[in-house]
Chains A and B, each alone.
Chain A
């Protein structure tokens, strides 16, 4: 299914990366192109979490219904953040506009819009900073790169802050480590002081707050969905997982992005988790519980403000405490893991009511997670495989030729490279890497991160995903790659569409789907298909061919 309302690839790929010679970016008015921005946050979703200025609005409206003193609010907010975040202050001051980051952003590569160059995205805010917070800017105005905060400037800032997926690729290349993602995060906080979120983010925030997960599944529905996936597991393997919910006294609490529970192909990853847990339960008496209250590992608050991120992710620790588990296992998710790695303990720690994580099966102490007490499920599984605790048949993934997409957040906000590769290579036999400057720390974004995974900004997403898709295409043509693995729920939602658009021959999978395929149960039925119902190699012709 090709996304609608997006020009054909032949058309879309006519991209000019050269900004006009005599144009001045400071004087160019923002132009809201359909397909590049999302709908404005609805009043009810803003009000649901007590954020400022709840009202219905649309980015294309003449009047954004801002409070009378919006300028003051914005500038005071800026001042406050300059005083609270050294990152912000420093990054406002030290950019030399060397341009090293310019062509590193996937949105610039895919759109050619100069204001999508990280340096200029940041300059939009920096120009306001100079005007109100530096002497040079106050004195010399535009000559010092300073701009008055007008409504047009606000609109422009908004438009481009919500065209950044906070992927941090630019920060890798900047000689001073300037992280435009950090600027975007703080800039978005400012827009949220005025009630200027997108509804895709704000609705998810409101849902997470109330029901615990971003699509607003109520507890029974959440459980139902998982039960349904258990049915599916049974159909394919003959084994029915027995997940536990909100179980007090369980050893481990499992938290995963809710996308895994309801949306293909994340659901297959979820089936992988369920099968793995069941296997461990049968073999080793593993005791893990799901929670309907902390039913979202993803954190849409992070695309809104630090405070909102803190508020939403608090549920994970609160629930762990209430249930009395020993530690927490985290599912495959991108920004969730940047938050769990770099923020959660600072936000809501120390979780001293939990224990230092130890694998009940291998006895491995997860030394590196002894502070925040959360283990990544891929770490957990890698350790199991390393200790030979799983019976695996990698030939069951022989119909797949794999590559691996490093999601931005685990890559540049954690450094999670080897564990997923180790697991993939243990459960699959055909694996090829994409070119080295598109993977690992240099990985390219899916084009839909940080809350940009909506329907109405599809063109932006297809453009932003171009560099990633291009690398996939390369390995598809060279090695016949037909499946790309990833460890992020937003990827699993965003990449299939991207692939449909640019490289339709390639599909997307989570790592634990592959584990689920390969896992051999003692009492399973004769398995002929993978979790999606696709036949194994050799299984479709039972006509005497040796298997």
Chain B
């Protein structure tokens, strides 16, 4: 299965995701199903799936303390301890994790291999490469902002933080597009950023040979879903306007568990919603569950304290010599080598009976 197969397969699935609500609502008018059943179902799958997943991970214990140490250990007072990159206690771990989760610390380290041959001899160099980090930051934060902006549909009155976010988000673009005759609402910068970032992530998957080589359909598919969500969202907001009050009525009903679907919401909305639901329901079964997994990652969330604080392995808490036959004991060792040991003047525990004459110098 080369990358084309993967790409085409996931594209087909994404197209199906597009067509299902289009036909379901546009042709068959299954409003209740696509407006009420699907969203509830998706949330349910997401919640249950995610909880099960985390429980499942949590059920496997952490037998050893294996943080990846990325800075100086804590040792002498006169050596500067790198307390975040090599934490010795939970304070350090919390800061380390915060940097990891909020700033993508590790990804920030990224560099790109630049391999050349000069006069037939190799030269290994590393070039600046922060694009992936930037795209990841742009993508995740835009997603977050857009997610928060959507609170305006679920709340009444709209909380002030949502309004502030909207203000800030729209601020930069306000008035940039005053094309006469076209009434375009404020453009949200995150809409553009999200689409740009996802497009970049998709293109780099195809463009960078190593990444292309390892990519699976499950790598393209979420990108297509997000592209679908973004595109339909943008279409709705700027071009194929839907009745926002009615959308809000629907969302509000769902939120308050009094769901009903008002008439006259455009099909495009249901397509958007279906993309969102598919993504949400897909998360627990896919690599997107990394959003929860990162918190459990033992190379990041453990402190490097095993030299002064005992870490207990729940399924094996006894030293090796307390199990039968696991170690080669000193007694067995001496039994085998006693003669040569004595000859070499190495102290032994047990002198052989016959040779007590030539007792070598021993102990203290």
Chain A contacts to B: CB under 8 angstroms: 9-10, 13-15, 17-19, 21-27, 50, 82-90, 93-100, 102-103, 109, 114, 117, 119-120, 123, 134-136, 142-145, 168, 171-179, 182, 209-212, 218-220, 223-224, 245-249, 292-293, 306, 310-311, 314-315, 317-319, 322, 340-343, 345-350, 364, 366-372, 374, 379, 382-383, 386, 411-419, 422, 437, 441-442, 466-467, 470-471
Contacts and interface: CB of A to CB of B under 8 A. Distances in A.
A484 to B, nearest CB: 17
A219 B337 contact: yes
A88 B121 contact: no
Given A346-B311, A368-B308, A245 B346 contact: yes
Given A176-B290, A310-B320, A315-B327, A102 B340 contact: no
A172 B109 contact: yes
Contact of A371 (B109, B110, B309, B330): B309
B41 interface: no
A486 to B, nearest CB: 18
Contact of B79 (A172, A322, A418): A418
A383 B62 contact: no
19 contacts: A87-B62, A88-B60, A97-B219, A109-B113, A109-B115, A177-B68, A177-B100, A177-B106, A179-B66, A182-B299, A218-B340, A220-B343, A248-B363, A413-B68, A415-B73, A415-B304, A418-B79, A467-B124, A471-B124
B213 A369 contact: no
With most chain A CB atoms within 10 A of its CB, the pick from B75, B107, B209, B313 is B75
B32 interface: no
Contact of A379 (B57, B75, B113, B310): B75
B66 A342 contact: yes
B57 A90 contact: yes
B294 A94 contact: yes
Contacts of B340: 218-220
Nearest to B340: A220
Contact of A415 (B9, B86, B132, B212): B86
A470 B124 contact: yes
A292 B346 contact: yes
Contacts of B304: 341-342, 414-415
Nearest to B10: A143
A370 B308 contact: yes
A82 B68 contact: no
A9 B64 contact: no
Interface in B204-220: 208-219
Contacts of A386: 76, 78
A346 B79 contact: no
Interface of B: 1-6, 9, 53, 56-66, 68-76, 78-80, 82, 85-86, 88, 100, 104, 106-107, 109-113, 115, 117, 120-124, 126, 132, 136, 208-219, 285, 287, 289-290, 293-294, 296-300, 304, 306-313, 315-316, 319-321, 325-330, 333, 336-337, 340-341, 343-347, 363-364
Q: Is the interface of B mostly helix, strand, loop or mixed?
A: loop
Contact of A318 (B123, B311, B329): B329
Contact of B319 (A119, A176, A246, A349): A349
Question: Lowest 9 CB-CB distances: which A-B pairs, in order?
Answer: A220-B344, A415-B69, A103-B113, A415-B73, A94-B293, A13-B122, A314-B320, A177-B299, A99-B211
Contacts of B218: 136, 144-145
A310 B64 CA distance: 12
B64 A416 contact: no
Contacts of A143: 1, 6, 9, 217
Contacts of A172: 68, 70, 106, 109
B327 A314 contact: yes
Given A85-B63, A419-B75, 16 more contacts: A82-B60, A85-B60, A93-B57, A94-B297, A120-B213, A173-B109, A175-B294, A176-B290, A210-B336, A220-B337, A318-B330, A347-B319, A374-B307, A412-B68, A416-B73, A466-B124
A319 B289 contact: no
B108 to A, nearest CB: 9
A294 to B, nearest CB: 9
B80 A144 contact: no
A142 to B, nearest CB: 5
A470 B122 contact: yes
Given A27-B1, A369-B308, A218 B337 contact: yes
Given A145-B218, A318-B327, A342-B306, A249 B62 contact: no
A347 B320 contact: yes
Nearest to A26: B1
Contacts of A84: 60-61, 63, 315
Contacts of B122: 9, 13, 15, 466, 470
B74 A368 contact: yes
B310 A349 contact: yes
Given A314-B319, A342-B66, A415-B72, A83 B59 contact: yes
Contacts of A142: 1
A9 to B, nearest CB: 6
B278 to A, nearest CB: 15
A187 B213 CA distance: 22
Given A109-B115, A311-B326, A386-B78, A86 B289 contact: no
A223 B348 CA distance: 14
A245 B361 CA distance: 12
Contacts of A212: 333
B211 A98 contact: yes
B289 to A, nearest CB: 6
B208 to A, nearest CB: 6
A371 B307 contact: yes
A218 B338 CA distance: 11
Contacts of A349: 310, 319
A83 B363 contact: no
Contacts of A24: 1-2, 5
A315 B329 CA distance: 8
Contact of A9 (B106, B121, B344): B121
Nearest to B304: A415
Contacts of A99: 208, 210-211, 214
A19 B211 CA distance: 10
Contacts of B327: 311, 314-315, 318
Contacts of A245: 346-347
B287 A94 contact: yes
A96 B219 contact: yes
Nearest to B79: A418
B74 to A, nearest CB: 6
B261 to A, nearest CB: 32
Nearest to B65: A342
B349 to A, nearest CB: 8
B226 to A, nearest CB: 13
Contacts of B5: 24
A340 B325 CA distance: 23
A18 B78 contact: no
Contacts of A175: 100, 104, 106-107, 136, 294
A293 B364 CA distance: 19
B120 A441 contact: no
Nearest to A48: B328
B316 to A, nearest CB: 8
Contacts of A418: 72, 79-80
Contact of B344 (A168, A219, A379, A467): A219
Contact of B213 (A25, A306, A347, A372): A25
Nearest to B77: A367
A317 B63 contact: no
A120 B214 CA distance: 7
Contact of B71 (A9, A17, A415): A415
A235 to B, nearest CB: 22
A347 B311 CA distance: 9
B210 A17 contact: yes
Contacts of B80: 418
B211 A102 contact: yes
A167 to B, nearest CB: 11
